[in-house]
Amino acid sequence: MKKSRRLSLILVGVSLLAFTILTGPALGQDRGETKVTIGSANVSIEYGRPQLKGRDPLKMIQPGGIWRIGSNAPTTITSDVDLDFGGTRVAKGKHILLARLAEPGKWSLVVSAKDAFQYEPTAKLAEVPMELKEEKEPVEALTINLSLGDHNKQGVIEVTWGKLRLLAFFTPAK
């Protein structure tokens, strides 16, 4: 009886360890969040933080394709007011952020109603150009930062991964 009980406890322990190793990141261990307040607008982005692990992000994304920005669950932007992305109004609430590589060096940020795996053109709520800058040293974990720009009246979304640094801009809608 003692051997059977001990064996059962060992099997349960090994199963829990294997489950944690296999599903840990998918359960949110590698998630990031960034927030900014622009006037009375509260904006936040939640995203997965994949690691480079020797990969080159630019070789993983084909021109014309949609990039889901992040890992596991979709990257989302949440706001308590309507936002303006390049003249297009996006209703307050929670939306998905994607990126499009039109051609080498030409990126855009896509605000969508659907994630990258279900994306279709009708899901696009807004699309704005992204400025491309290169980092001198590669950034191992994908990082997204929200900050203030243009005299604290504009939001800046900065996506950094590897040597890739992309910037997009938005404002609270008027």
**Residues of the chain scoring pLDDT < 50:** 7-28
What is the pLDDT, as a whole number, of residue 58? 74
The residue among 106, 125, 109 whose CA lies nearest residue 58 is: 106
Give the start-end residues of each E strand in 10-153.
31-38, 41-48, 66-67, 76-79, 83-85, 88-90, 93-103, 106-112, 124-149
What is the pLDDT, as a whole number, of residue 167? 97
Residue 128, domain member (yes or no): yes
What is the three-class DSSP state of 47?
strand
Residues spanned by the domain of 73:
30-172
Residue 7, domain member (yes or no): no
Residue 158, domain member (yes or no): yes
Residue 20, domain member (yes or no): no
Residue 70, domain member (yes or no): yes
Structural domain count, the chain: 1
The predicted model scores a pTM of 0.81
The residue among 108, 110, 114, 30 whose CA lies nearest residue 71 is: 30
Residue 65, domain member (yes or no): yes
What is the pLDDT, as a whole number, of residue 3? 56
Residue 147, domain member (yes or no): yes
Residue 129, domain member (yes or no): yes
